[in-house]
Amino acid sequence: MTLTATRVATDTLLTGPVMLSPSGPADSVTASERESYDDHVLRFGPRPDVSAALLADVEHAGLLGHGGAFVPVAVKWRSALLRKGPLTVVANAAESEPLAGKDGTLIRQRPHLVLDGLMIAAQALGADRAIIWLHGDDYTARAVFEEAFQDRGWSGRDVPIEIIDGPVHYLAGEAQAITRATSGGPALPFPRRNVTDPRAPQTIVQNVETLARLAMLARGLPNTRTRLLTVLGAHRMVVEVAQSTTIEQVLIGLGWKVAPQAVLLGGYAGIWAKWDDIASLEVNEKKLRAAKLTLGAGVMVPLAEDACGVRVTADLVSYLASMSARQCGPCLFGLPALAEHWAALADEDGDRRTMDRLRADISAIEGRGACRHPDGATRLSTSALQTFSAHLGAHVSGMRCRHRTHVTLPGTSL
Amino acid sequence: MSALQRIRAARERLTGQKLRVDPLVCEGIGQCAMTASRLVQLDRWGYPIVPTEELGASDLGPAQRAVNSCPKRALWLEELD
């Protein structure tokens, strides 16, 4: 027995905060503690045996998906239990939002909690296959899971879980893309259609944080008290905070001394919000949604007072356009059009008509892709038009942009 | 005719069907918009914008013709549940 095994409480997911490299897989640059199988069992006890009756507990606890869309887990489970077709359960560890690092950090620190969650979901739903889906470049995550399998004494044909390396692409973590890939197709989004055959094969995709919380829920442990966040300041930090923590407190806790002008919530396909509007809001997703906001997969990017939000938005929209799966016309042509308008606005080449054309294109694209990727770009654009409205006024009226500091977010300079 | 009756009459003209387009299959050929110009508009890149709401009875014929006209079979009528 080690001392660390009893020191950390059972109501947190992470063993501690970490500093990550600016983008890419969540490999920490500071020390990060990995929990062994023995320590895991010591802390949480053995994995409980479950049945479909667990659905009632999941529903009662109100467990939500933590990949960013916050779909109630009970909704996915109920539809899966109604059908008769062979079922695949996927633990989605491909966090594609370029800055998000909370899932990667979780699997590096508590791989066994995630494995428990996947086994519990598979058992409760009577699944035929259980898969861990990773980004192909996340070598550490694969090594962590393989080591965890060995820790559990799983080898050869006895391993109940497959690990699949997905492509390294922004949309490789999208649920329909994963569904398609695990049944032998390309890892590309696909439109949802009503399935009428009750015997058709089906796939349930759950984010790894959701599964870790499920592993706690199945043991009767509290599982909704905290929230995992990735915050990009001078460094990329992953922290776990109480749901009642305000956004201002999160930044103060990370050493921010000066208030930013705005914060990008949810990541590159997220939404801009003015600092004064959100500083006192709690990071609790339900409360954020009541205010028509969301932190998505838990990403926050504060924007310094002297940075130009229009320029950063132009970079972001151009990044999103480059990450299109290039399958649907409205996305393939629409996102570059949005990016072009934003570039013109950022370069002070645009006028009021540029903004009108931008608004027209936003409403033309919305809701017309096979996946939600184009909607991410339109939502970001709409929020930027509101948040930076005063500054946009300066950009289109011939006054020079007074923000001299050029901020480039990781991966967005093309 | 009371307000309720009017609402009911409007309801009865609905078909329980929706016109849908698969954006993956659609190549922006534009036959649908030519066949059912009142129902389907094209965006500035030539891809169809179909109504998101349930079809009324008078729209069902044009919608069916739009479905039949597509050389890529990208459109279909979907029963609402």
List, for residues A84-130, the tens digit of each pLDDT value: 999 999 999 999 899 999 999 999 999 999 999 999 999 999 999 99
- Verify whether the Cβ–Cβ distance B47 to A368 is below 8 Å: yes
> Bigger pLDDT: A335 or A1?
A335
- Verify whether the Cβ–Cβ distance A368 to B23 is below 8 Å: yes
Domains of chain A: 30-217 (3.40.50.11540), 226-303 (3.10.20.600), 309-396 (1.20.1440.230)
**Among partner residues B22, B24, B45, which is closest to A333 by beta-carbon distance?**
B45
pLDDT of residue A239: 96
Suggest the residue from A196, A333, A338, A366 to mutate for an interface test with chain B (most B CBs closer than 10 A). Answer: A333
Q: Is A369 on the interface with B (CB under 8 A)?
A: yes
ipTM over 0.85: no
Residue-wise pLDDT tens digits, A316-341: 999 999 999 999 999 999 999 999 99
In this structure, whether the domain defined by B15-79 belongs to CATH 3.30.70.20 is answered with yes
The parts of chain B modelled with pLDDT lower than 70 are 1-2, 4-12
- Verify whether the Cβ–Cβ distance A190 to B26 is below 8 Å: no
Q: Is A334 on the interface with B (CB under 8 A)?
A: yes
Query: Does residue A230 contact residue A236 with C-beta atoms inside 8 Å?
Result: yes
Domain ranges of chain B: 15-79
Quick one: closest CA in A to B45, which residue? Answer: A333
How far apart (Å, rounded) are the C-alpha atoms in residues A4 and A201?
Answer: 44
